[in-house]
Amino acid sequence: MTEATDQTPTRPKPVAAAAAAPKFGDDPDSTVDAQAAVVMRKGLLDDVIDGIQMGLMAIVLIGLIVVAVFSDSLPVLYPALKPLYAFIGSIPSNLTRLPEYAMMAKEKMPTSADEALLLITALSHWFDQLLSSLPYKECVLVFSWAIYLWEAKLDIRQRDRLHEVRRPAAIASFIPRQAYLEANAYGLDKSSLSLVKNAITQIQTTVIILYDLTPWLWYTVVDAVEDYTGYSPEYEITHSVVYFIVVMLITTALSLPFDLYSTFVVEKKHGFNKQTIGLYVTDTIKTLLLTAFLGGPIIAAFLWVIIKTGSQFYFYAWALMAAVQLLAIVIFPTFIQPLFNKFEPLPEGELRNEIEALASRLNFPLKKLYVIDGSKRSGHSNAYVFGFFKSKRIVIYDTLINQCTTEEIVAIVGHELGHWKKNHVVRMLAAAQIQTFLIFYVFSRFAGERRMYTSFGMDTMPAFIGLIFFQYLYQPLDSLLSFATSVLSRAHEFDADAFSKKLGYGKPLASGLIKLQIENKSVMNPDPLYSAYHYSHPPLVERLNAINDPDVAPKTE
């Protein structure tokens, strides 16, 4: 299979016109050729990335040489790194003993319920001993930088794809070259902002951990609350809520420059942003107020549960958060989103009639059919279903109505109804509950470990601060669970596509997805590893291949 179909024309050209021949593909349009030149061009950020990668490779190589040559002397020269040397030195012997370890594990596998209980008890005791000796701060720094470097490498792989100007053969027949280049240019601008933002955020996190800024801010808040209100350190819940609000304001201030640049530079440059400064400020203030007035009571209730229920708090905390999540599913679209967007009934006409007929055909309990003014803020489009039991609502963005035909919109709604019919929302909600329970259970094992607090410079053990420290430690497992959730989500998307196809909407669904891909300037040739790790939806080509496969969900009446 050829990797690209855009080839330089082979028909003869006049000598005088040779200088005007396209340099970057098959389109003689000088505008398209200029766009290709922009996409191909590598700027200062790309040079910095290349330099950092080369520098890291050199550092690793030099480090391996130093360890190999001076391995016996290094523990003496740098005793603080003795555990690291011991770990590196043990790798070869441990690798050679893997078969032996496997046999030992097999021999120790429990063969009865009593043996299994003893094994669990032994592992629990070992875990408690580990917690009492764990170098928490060092572990957090290692985890944090390992995940950052892994995700930065994925970002760089994706960026290399975005610099490509020739369409892959799989999309060349239905994606215009201009659209492909515009999507890559948009992706590159977002990539540049993301790389810079992530690097600065990682540096901020490292400084916060190294210099114990979390304890400093906590005790500053405690002292301020006590000075102004008289609430002593015993009022832990009050102090935690105030601390939460202070951190929210600081986080907003630190992220504000990136958000402003994203909205009023990147999004505006590529034709998506419709917001004014006034609307942006209003939205930000609304978001802060909602976060404070809703998040504060939730945190207070969460901490009250922890304090009152002791070491078994994980079950009660999970039950509380499960109730909050279910309540949020009802409250957000009904009460919160209308604070930002206007919902109006979809006008009478062909589109409304087609959607209502489809809902009736599937016995979908449609109570309301709305159109939302998404164009008020952005040119991006969407449609979704929400509601419980016999009170369901369908919401369609006005941008979607402007971009697609009636049949394509109905096909997309059929996809969304596929999520309902296949219980995908319930499955994702169940997966989220399992993840939440796991988080709280593991946190319960860490919450009472004083060493975790003292490692970060704390003299006391407030539960909210413990949760923050635990979130740092939990990063590797959280990344794995997020990846697993994305895998499940992508499977659901294929399933919903097949459902819409089975209803007879295969062709309009495919054409609608292509239009949305073009209109939203989504990445059309993503890096496989990047998309597998980050994407909650399959890439366009994979979805179209499944829709066009005659063996996948043939039409039924």
Report how far residue 236's alpha carbon sits from residue 242's, in angstroms, rounded to the nearest whole number: 10
| DSSP classification of residue 347 | P
Pairing of strands 391-397, 383-388: antiparallel
Q: Which of 236, 449, 497, 519 is catalytic?
A: 497
Q: Catalytic annotation on 164?
A: no
Cβ atoms 501, 278 nearer than 8 A: no
Cα distance between residue 259 and residue 506, in whole Å: 38
CA–CA distance from 265 to each of 47, 374, 431, 443, 489 (Å)?
22, 19, 37, 41, 31
Selection from 409, 429, 400 nearest residue 492 by Cα:
429
What is the amino acid identity at position 17? A
Burial of 406 (0-12, 13-18, 19+ CB in 10 A): middle
228: left (phi over 0), alpha (psi -120 to 50) or beta: alpha
Neighbours of 143 (CB within 10 A): 18
Helix %, strand %, coil % for the chain, to 5? 75, 5, 20
Spatial separation of the C-alpha atoms in residues 418 and 495, rounded to whole Å = 8
Q: Report the phi/psi class of residue 77: left, alpha or beta, with left for phi > 0 and alpha for psi in -120 to 50.
A: alpha
Burial of 393 (0-12, 13-18, 19+ CB in 10 A): middle
396: which strand partners? 371, 383
Angle at alpha carbon of residue 141, lines to 137 and 144, rounded to 5°: 135
Catalytic residue among 33, 182, 408, 416: 416
416 among known catalytic residues = yes
Residues catalogued as catalytic = 416, 497
